[in-house]
């Protein structure tokens, strides 16, 4: 393994002036203090036995709600330009609608002001998966009423924070929300119904487009959206059609909607056994194509597919045919080296993902809004020497610079994640942080990867 701590100048010398560096988190994964807000679908899911691998729930998470100031100090020490966080919808509107909870507004006011005092630009995401349970009871993202609820929520946040936030993202990873939550049922709300998942995918993008308008009408800076797109690799000749189907649902669906191309006939055909798409309306498609000032890409790994299964362990988090309704038979076959999620580490796929997006959605500046890896960290004598994570960051930062050299308008990079946290259905069993936190000890211990990223952030020109 390369000693990147002594070779960070290979990266810093390639970073363009004005490039934004940051770290990212999300509300449900870190905040805790769920008694001070309304209930979300993730508490409902976590309370269902067997849904979360280690039985973890919303509390205490990393206890960030009570440790805000010292967590902001950590960010300042890391030397970031920006911090990407999400707002918990049920902290602002306990049932998703009705009266605003001032406690929730006060918390995010303190967060945003605390960032600005430390010269860190707030990058706010409206929705990172913690839907108020009361809205799920009314149909959640599968119902048309969600448009109005999401617009109302966006309006409240923008009217309070538009003057101080640097970038706004409407949604985080709508593919995950739609398909992990509603097709495979491995995320909240735990529905296993492809037809619902396809409708949710569509309604999410329409909701996002409508919220973009609301943000703009409140003069919010830089409204955008965050997608998890990746490169699909067909590992043998017989699998190209299936690989195209995976690509259609993972990448093309979202890019086409944003670009105003609507829903491709190939996608409608290959999913026709589940839905006739009669919920699609012209006016909605126009809303889904509302202008974004930037697109966020969360990238971790390519998806490698083959006609035959690979040898060895086959539990890959978030890679299963059930996530791609209408898919021909196929197997996910990540190669070594892999992260703890079973995800193949292949930095060149970050470059190809970014160049492809630039081709399919030209003229839109990009940010890498999440990138990082889960590894089986060991705490030895108070130190986490996570060289595997350092290696992951170094190779992916170089791959991001390669994309810039190839003409991609990449404006920034956020590491996932500032700290170990609740990794959704995996609970505490997977650690993505550059700062160690554990389920039974909220003490923050910066890892070697923190030291490495700090060096890169501080030493760049």
**Pattern 313-352, ligand IFM, x by CB under 6 A:** ----------------------------------------
CA angle, residues 245, 246, 249, in degrees to nearest 5:
85
Tell me the site size for ligand IFM, rule CB under 6 A. Answer: 8
Nearest-angstrom CA–CA distance, 181 and 197: 8
Which member of 173, 256, 344, 386 binds ligand IFM (CB under 6 A)? 173
Task: State in angstroms the smallest separation of the CB of 437 from ligand IFM.
Answer: 14
- How is residue 395 annotated by DSSP? H
What's the longest Cα–Cα distance across the chain? 61
Residue 346: C-alpha distances to residues 61, 85, 322 (Å): 30, 26, 24
Contacts of 232 (CB under 8 A, 6+ apart): 243, 246, 247, 250, 251, 302, 303, 304, 305
Computed from CA positions of residues 15, 17, 23, 26, in that sequence, does the dihedral angle turn out positive or negative? negative
Residues 364-403 close enough to bind ligand IFM by CB under 6 A: 370
Of 26 and 395, which has the nearer Cβ to ligand IFM?
26
Task: State in angstroms the smallest separation of the CB of 276 from ligand IFM.
Answer: 31
Binding of residue 420 to ligand IFM (CB under 6 A):
no
Task: State in angstroms the smallest separation of the CB of 329 from ligand IFM.
Answer: 26
Nearest-angstrom CA–CA distance, 191 and 187: 8
Cis bond leading into 385, ω under 30°?
no
Which member of 250, 298, 349, 351 binds ligand IFM (CB under 6 A)? 298
The yes-or-no answer on residue 173 being catalytic is: yes
**Marked catalytic residue, from 31, 370, 423, 426:** 370
Task: State in angstroms the smallest separation of the CB of 380 from ligand IFM.
Answer: 25
**Marked catalytic residue, from 173, 344, 423, 426:** 173
Of 8 and 141, which has the nearer Cβ to ligand IFM?
141
Task: State in angstroms the smallest separation of the CB of 232 from ligand IFM.
Answer: 18
Binding of residue 254 to ligand IFM (CB under 6 A):
no
Residues 427-446 close enough to bind ligand IFM by CB under 6 A: 432
Binding of residue 26 to ligand IFM (CB under 6 A):
yes
Of 173 and 284, which has the nearer Cβ to ligand IFM?
173
Q: Residue-wise over 39-61: b if at least 16 C-beta within 10 A, else e? A: bbbbbbbbeeeebbeeebbbebb
Binding of residue 416 to ligand IFM (CB under 6 A):
yes
Task: State in angstroms the smallest separation of the CB of 416 from ligand IFM.
Answer: 6
The yes-or-no answer on residue 370 being catalytic is: yes
Of 114 and 433, which has the nearer Cβ to ligand IFM?
433
Contact of 170 with 212, CB cutoff 8 Å:
yes
Instruction: With CA atoms as reference, report the closest residue to 254 among 142, 361, 370, 411.
Output: 361
Give the distance from CA 341 to its chain's centroid: 15
Active site residues: 173, 370
- Site for ligand IFM, rule CB under 6 A: 26, 29, 173, 298, 370, 416, 423, 432
């Amino acid at each position: 393994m390369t000693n990147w701590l002594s070779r960070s100048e290979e990266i810093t010398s390639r970073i363009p002036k004005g490039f934004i560096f940051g770290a990212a988190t999300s509300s449900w994964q870190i905040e805790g203090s769920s008694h001070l807000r309304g209930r979300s679908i993730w508490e409902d899911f976590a309370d269902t036995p067997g849904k979360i691998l280690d039985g973890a729930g919303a509390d205490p998470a990393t206890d960030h709600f009570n440790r805000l100031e010292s967590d902001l100090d950590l960010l300042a020490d890391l030397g970031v330009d920006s911090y990407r966080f999400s707002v918990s919808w049920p902290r602002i509107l306990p049932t998703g609608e009705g009266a605003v909870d001032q406690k929730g507004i006060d918390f995010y006011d303190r967060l945003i002001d605390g960032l600005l005092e430390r010269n860190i630009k707030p990058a706010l995401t409206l929705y990172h998966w913690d839907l108020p349970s009361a809205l799920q009871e009314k149909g959640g993202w599968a119902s048309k009423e969600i448009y109005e609820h999401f617009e109302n929520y966006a309006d409240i946040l923008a009217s309070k924070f538009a003057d101080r936030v640097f970038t706004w993202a409407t949604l985080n990873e709508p593919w995950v929300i739609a398909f992990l939550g509603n097709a495979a049922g491995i995320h909240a709300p735990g529905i296993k119904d492809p037809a619902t998942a396809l409708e949710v995918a569509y309604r999410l993008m329409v909701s996002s487009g409508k919220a973009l308008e609301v943000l703009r009408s409140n003069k919010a800076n830089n409204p955008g959206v965050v997608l998890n797109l990746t490169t699909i690799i067909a590992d043998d000749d017989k699998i190209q059609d299936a690989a195209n189907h995976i690509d259609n649902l993972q990448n093309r669906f979202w890019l086409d909607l944003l670009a105003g191309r609507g829903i491709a006939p190939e996608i409608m055909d290959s999913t026709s056994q589940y839905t006739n798409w009669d919920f699609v309306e012209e006016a909605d498609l126009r809303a889904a194509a509302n202008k974004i000032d930037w697109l966020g890409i969360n990238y971790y790994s390519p998806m490698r597919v083959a006609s035959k299964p690979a040898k060895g362990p086959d539990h890959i988090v978030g890679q299963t045919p059930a996530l791609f309704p209408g898919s021909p038979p196929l197997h996910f076959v990540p190669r070594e080296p892999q992260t703890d999620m079973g995800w193949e580490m292949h930095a060149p796929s970050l470059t190809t993902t970014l160049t492809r997006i630039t081709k399919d959605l030209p003229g839109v500046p990009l940010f890498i809004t999440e990138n990082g890896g889960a590894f089986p960290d060991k705490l030895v004598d108070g130190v986490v020497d996570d060289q595997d994570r350092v290696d992951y960051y170094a190779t992916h930062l170089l791959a991001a610079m390669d994309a810039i050299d190839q003409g991609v308008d990449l404006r920034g990079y956020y590491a996932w994640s500032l700290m170990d946290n609740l990794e959704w259905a995996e609970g505490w069993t997977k650690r993505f942080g550059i700062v160690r936190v554990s389920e039974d000890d909220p003490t923050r211990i910066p890892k070697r990867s923190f030291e490495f990223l700090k060096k890169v952030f501080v030493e760049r020109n």
